[in-house]
Amino acid sequence: MAHCYHCGDLCESKTILHDEKSFCCQGCVTVFDILNDNDLSYYYDLEKSPGTSPNEIEGKFDFLDNKLIIDKLLEFTDGNTQIVSFLIPSIHCSSCIWVLENLQKLNKGVRTSQVDFPKKKVRITFSAKELSLKDLVTLLTRIGYEPNISLDSLDTKTKKTNNKLIYQLGVAGFAFGNVMFLSFPEYFQVEEYWLDQFKHLFRWLMFAFSVPVVFYSGKDYFISAYKGLRSKILNIDIPIALGITVLFVRSTLEIIMDWGTGFFDSLTGLVFFLLVGKYFQLKTYSYLSFERDYKSYFPIAITRLSESHTEEQVPIYEVKQGDRLLIRNKELLPVDAILLKGNALIDYSFVTGEAVPVPKASGDKLFAGGRQEGTIIEVEAVKEVAQSYLTQLWSNEVFTHNKQHLFEPLINKISKHFTISVLSIAFLAGMFWFVVDTSKIFQVVTAVLIVACPCAIALASPFTLGNLLRIYGRNKFYVKEAYIIEQMEQVDTVVFDKTGTITTSAKSQIYYEGIPLTEEESTLLTSSLRASNHPLSRALYEILNKNNITVLDHFEEVAGKGILATHKDQEIKIGSSSFVEGNTVSNEENKTSVYVSSNDGFKGRFVFQNTYREGLADVFREISKNNEIVILSGDNDGERGRLEMILPKNAQLYFDQKPDDKLQFIKNLQKAGKKVMMVGDGLNDAGALAQSDVGVVVSENINVFSPACDGILDASKFEQLPHFLKISKRGMKIIKWSFILSLLYNLIGLGFAVSGNLSPVVAAILMPLSSISIVVFTTIATYFLGKQLFNK
């Protein structure tokens, strides 16, 4: 009998030989041929037992010909591009991820596919003209990844909570408490008749309590360690799994051979505290997932029209079904809606990755996540804000660029050296006692592996970063993921956009120079500004909004240049001097200005006296102590003199920077070895924000949301930006001090272990004490760190 080349199962009944390889069934042969024909044979280099054998699928998915069922399964459709998410239980390893994210090689109808490994889900974008949903499901099933499609749950979108970790933690906590209680007579060597009589019973009860802790509560550490070894990666779970194994084996041998009580208290305590740290981390990320919806994490507003057609700015979580909303150029649709008025040109690149805008007519359905490109439109909401769906938009691979895969956390760097060191010490100690006293080899080697288990190290990072994330959130700085804090600590260059970032439109002083505008021109100007979301447009609209409003026949906004709009036979251009093609009306050419022409005749300009954010000079001074500062502005250099007075002497200033210029500038800095934080307003900075190591959007009362960033900073907290950088650096120092503290415990324990004097009492004291002290230390240290920086 041989093992199947595809699935790894033992070919018990018969062996099918194909291409000089053994297979257990024809299904596995079929999958092998599919992968091999599509240049995916590398699949078998990654994993020797990927996927599952496909069962008979003929007619199995005929129900996917039903349009009603298809509509319920699809997350998004515009008639051609469609998006669907499937739960695939057979996802279990790196090769599963690899083959599912290369589906486009199997069928050109698949555009992109993303695997969410922890949730065992795959999100697929595909072309309905080239591939039907039924054919897609059939393809997945043929290669061994049949989706779990439950028609009974199509109408309910509630997510089932996975309580596995809670159950594991409960089992470990229950066992830990009971084992500690049963161990007390052993600790204090109490000589009492009944305790002595039942001593062996107590030991076997401790063994019984430890079995579910090892094989249920701690199984994930063994799985992670196995996968790490298989991938030739020394992760932190390898020494943890080794420590759990040695604790259990040695403790079991001690009670079987009647050598002593073993280390069951340390074993159950170790697993319990590790799971506490994991649960804390899970709760932190759950908190973040909630914070990442628009309601709590970005104070975004939308323009709602009342029955009398007056405009009001409301938080989007107040939008109800049936509300009429005003969507301007470049604004994101927060809800699924029906188009009522205007010419819609919807950019669904946030959802599908396709950059070509889709024209829509009155009565068409528009999906949440689309961005209007063009004139202002009116829509009617058909549902309330879909928080979970909008959260997915934030995580779209088009904008994240998988930064985390390019970054190695501190814990991973340490775990490699830690594992090698522990194994080396155990080997050397074993060699020493082999020469001195062979009877102590087993005791010493196992004691070293027990006491050197890195439980405290594993707890330091999640507790510290979790606390820092909460401190950030309380101070209105919302960070996308915990690893961003580690990246912030490495930043050595901070790049600022100017307009809307270090300036505030709320206090700008604006005056007009030129030929007075007619009433018709003023109406057209105001209507055009009303449809734009550029900070200068919004600021100018605020002082002109008393003019009449008209429906535009045509609206076009050219990024970094200006606006072109028409109504009947009237055309207006608004923007830069070169775009408007007019001559300036004074010699002060370098003032920040918005130029206006009507029917190709130059009219004049609105001059802006920028108001910089409060405390800007202090922000620059503090940041420049440890970082280089760069200003990238799309405006002209009219503010150079004022900025040079505010900025440190070594700061760099660049003006007339288009969006592509900013992106390329960030790339050049990174090529030079710089770790870059980009701080922008999320309008023309999307590419630069996505490219930077850390991208931060400064949010004011602007109805634009850009997922291409790693954090969102409330504009009212802009002056605290240096504190956020400081806290990331000091937070990483807390983690490093935690590692040192943990190392001290390990060194003390290793002293007992190498000398052959590690008793259960010493282990019972050192191991829980190290874990508890690390948790207490990180919690108190981060608390005082936040209080020191933000409560001055």
Q: Are residue 699 and residue 685 in the same domain, yes or no?
A: yes
CA torsion angle 718 722 723 728 (round to 10): 120
Structure tokens at 63: 């129900």
Q: At 213, is the pLDDT very low, low, confident or very high (cuts 50, 70, 90)?
A: very high
Distance separating alpha carbons of residues 477 and 488, to the nearest angstrom: 13
Q: Strand pairing partners for 82?
A: 77, 126
Residue 581: domain span: 505-609
Contacts of 700 by beta carbon, 8 Å cutoff, 6+ apart: 500, 504, 505, 506, 681, 715
The answer to whether residue 136 sits within a structural domain is no
Distance separating alpha carbons of residues 533 and 69, to the nearest angstrom: 39
Q: Are residue 375 and residue 452 in the same domain, yes or no?
A: no
- Determine the average pLDDT of the residues in 263-284: 73
Q: Are residue 173 and residue 273 in the same domain, yes or no?
A: yes
> Is the pLDDT higher at 765 or at 392?
765
Give the chain's radius of gyration (CA, Å).
Answer: 32
Distance separating alpha carbons of residues 729 and 722, to the nearest angstrom: 11
pLDDT at 298: 35
Contacts of 68 by beta carbon, 8 Å cutoff, 6+ apart: none
Looking at 586, 609, 632, which one is the last position of a domain?
609
Predicted TM-score (pTM) of the model is 0.53
Looking at 728, 746, 780, which one is the last position of a domain?
728
The answer to whether residue 63 sits within a structural domain is no
pLDDT in tens, 707-765: 457 788 888 888 899 999 999 898 888 888 888 887 787 788 778 778 877 665 566 56
Q: Are residue 302 and residue 252 in the same domain, yes or no?
A: no
Q: Are residue 534 and residue 571 in the same domain, yes or no?
A: yes
pLDDT in tens, 51-68: 444 445 555 676 777 777
Choose among 127, 26, 137: nearest CA to 83.
Answer: 127
Q: Are residue 234 and residue 317 in the same domain, yes or no?
A: no
- Determine the average pLDDT of the residues in 136-152: 76
The answer to whether residue 1 sits within a structural domain is no
pLDDT at 31: 63
Q: At 676, is the pLDDT very low, low, confident or very high (cuts 50, 70, 90)?
A: very high
Identify the weakest region by mean pLDDT among 190-204, 645-659, 673-687.
Answer: 190-204
pLDDT at 672: 92
- Around Cβ 617, how many Cβ atoms within 10 Å? 13
The answer to whether residue 44 sits within a structural domain is no
Q: Are residue 712 and residue 641 in the same domain, yes or no?
A: yes
Distance separating alpha carbons of residues 443 and 449, to the nearest angstrom: 10
Q: Are residue 303 and residue 284 in the same domain, yes or no?
A: no
The answer to whether residue 782 sits within a structural domain is yes
DSSP 8-state assignment for residue 714:
E
- Mean residue pLDDT of the chain comes to 75
Q: Is the CB of residue 608 less than 8 Å from the CB of residue 592?
A: yes
Q: At 683, is the pLDDT very low, low, confident or very high (cuts 50, 70, 90)?
A: low
Q: Is the CB of residue 785 less than 8 Å from the CB of residue 731?
A: yes
> Is the pLDDT higher at 447 or at 602?
602
pLDDT at 760: 55
pLDDT at 392: 46
Choose among 359, 366, 397: nearest CA to 77.
Answer: 366
Q: Are residue 724 and residue 621 in the same domain, yes or no?
A: yes
Which position has the token pair 């018990």? 12
Q: At 7, is the pLDDT very low, low, confident or very high (cuts 50, 70, 90)?
A: low
Percent of the chain, pLDDT > 90? 8
The answer to whether residue 22 sits within a structural domain is no
Looking at 705, 728, 751, which one is the last position of a domain?
728
For every residue of 562-628, which 3-state class applies, written as one string? Answer: EEEEEECCEEEEEECHHHHCCCCCCCCCCCEEEEEEECCEEEEEEEEECCECCCHHHHHHHHHCCCE
Q: Is the CB of residue 263 less than 8 Å from the CB of residue 253?
A: no
Q: At 646, is the pLDDT very low, low, confident or very high (cuts 50, 70, 90)?
A: confident
The answer to whether residue 92 sits within a structural domain is no
Look up the CATH number of the domain holding residue 594: 3.40.1110.10
Q: Where are the alpha helices (DSSP H) in 43-163?
A: 43-46, 67-73, 94-100, 133-142
Tell how far CA 70 is from the center of its chain. 29
Residue 389 has pLDDT above 50, yes or no: no
DSSP 8-state assignment for residue 517:
P
pLDDT at 509: 73
pLDDT at 59: 56
* Overall domain count for the chain: 4
The answer to whether residue 735 sits within a structural domain is yes
Q: Are residue 251 and residue 325 in the same domain, yes or no?
A: no
Contacts of 426 by beta carbon, 8 Å cutoff, 6+ apart: 445, 448, 449, 452
| Cα first-last separation, the chain | 74
Q: Are residue 415 and residue 270 in the same domain, yes or no?
A: yes
> Is the pLDDT higher at 293 or at 441?
441
Instruction: Tell me which H or E stretch contains 347.
Output: strand 344-347
Q: Are residue 533 and residue 604 in the same domain, yes or no?
A: yes
- Determine the average pLDDT of the residues in 61-86: 80
Look up the CATH number of the domain holding residue 472: 3.40.50.1000
- Determine the average pLDDT of the residues in 78-91: 82
> Is the pLDDT higher at 568 or at 547?
568
Q: At 610, is the pLDDT very low, low, confident or very high (cuts 50, 70, 90)?
A: low
Look up the CATH number of the domain holding residue 369: 2.70.150.10
Distance separating alpha carbons of residues 766 and 760, to the nearest angstrom: 10
